[in-house]
Amino acid sequence: PRPHYVHQSNLAEEHLLYPVLDRVLADYRALFAPSAPLVNPTQRDVGTELARRAAWDRALAAGKVTAYRIGTTVTVKAPSGVVAPVTAPEGTRKKLLLGTSAFGTAYAGTRSAWTSPEPLQNAVTLTIPTI
């Protein structure tokens, strides 16, 4: 199940949900840095996320995904139409047909994105920063 709602009547002794949610959110904020905010995607975004995960899981189970690192280069290959979930260090660059671009979206000190090869490429190629 993927719950996205709460029935008020499911709470014990006629209590409200707000104090419980306030405590959960306070605990989250105490445990995680401000660079890791709670994300509240739309129903459409959740549907897209679940579809991507299902396609990725099928590709993994079928052994159709290859990923490796050589030096500071990370390469990910997946079947056509399957986007890869990648998390990389801040400063990572994605290889384009001509040049590079900053990779992904910043979150909690890293960069992440669902990504696929650029036009005329057969793999995602990332350059991670040297430490």
In a domain? residue 31: no
Residue 17 belongs to a domain = no
Rounded CA-CA distance 101/84 in Å is: 17
Q: Which amino acid is at 14?
A: E
| 6 is a domain residue | no
Q: How many domains does one find in the chain? A: 1
Establish if 21 belongs to a structural domain. no
Sheet holding 66-70, edge to edge: 66-70, 73-77, 124-127, 93-95, 100-102
Residue-level pLDDT, tens digit, the chain, 131 residues: 566 677 766 666 667 778 888 899 999 999 998 889 888 888 899 999 999 999 999 999 999 999 999 999 999 999 999 999 999 999 999 999 999 999 999 999 999 999 999 889 999 999 999 87
Tell me the H-state helices in the chain.
Answer: 18-31, 43-61
Quick check: 65 and 57 in contact, CB under 8 A? no
| Residue 16 resides in a domain | no
The partner residues of 111 in beta bridges, in order of sequence, read: 88, 106
DSSP 25-44: HHHHHHHS-TTSPPP---HH
Q: Which amino acid is at 84?
A: A
pTM of model > 0.85: no
DSSP 13: G
In a domain, 36, yes or no: no
Query: What range does the domain containing 117 cover?
Result: 43-127
